Chains A and B, each alone.
Chain A
């Protein structure tokens, strides 16, 4: 028995010895068949590149995670959206020209995982295509419908930050593009939370894309909207 205990202790020590190794994670929300999926998004594609992005590897990763939390507008789910969750950024090329970025995130829906992907213009950061990969929802068919997904084309993160302003200061403004997004008519009532999760996922996706690909170019929009909201809050 003593020998057995010694061996168990050895195994435990081996585990501890491995524990201090650099703690990186494998890839989280990825396209299952990137070559085919990216080709369908960009028929003129000649090559693509995958880059793993992890907030812990950024110089101020923890601050970025806190910034993400604030900009998403609420707590991040500890299972779906942890600090060490890795992301994959796809860059699509035609020869030497970058045609677009593709990026996906996981968000919790009422029935499970919702994987929200967008392709974005590399110059303007505007969404060119929106699509779901994994969608564990009783309203999956309605959410996947072309007319549902096409609403999101042409939006950018700036529109979400504008929405924050209009929602606080000028509800119902015709300039508020995000407020005009409508859930599909055929969406079952019990799947309504999955529409809300989709919007939240899209917003999170664009915020991360702003960090990973666009050097946080949309920050002035966030700050302007925040200032407006604070000012509104201070009014008697």
Chain B
């Protein structure tokens, strides 16, 4: 089965790292976006199975993006994974309370990202 993952991060290095991590799953296709607005636009124009989003981004940050996605009934069930440098407990709790399904802190480990994605996509 093919999965489409939307990667939203202002850092091209980070986008490449996340793409590398998730593409180890066979049949995964990724689309990249550089900020929250660009990401939301792509989410509403195409079909995705999961969103990986940074928190600190220009134009629209990741937390605002999560609340906008969850406000839209069409995307209330899409899994969202926050990938961020913010390692504080409050940041994590805030992201989860807004509707994020998982929270990964940087620097990332590809196997960890992969296991979180597999769990959310229910891939055994």
Co-assembled chains A and B: no
Chain A interface residues toward B at CB < 8 A = none
Chain B interface residues toward A at CB < 8 A = none
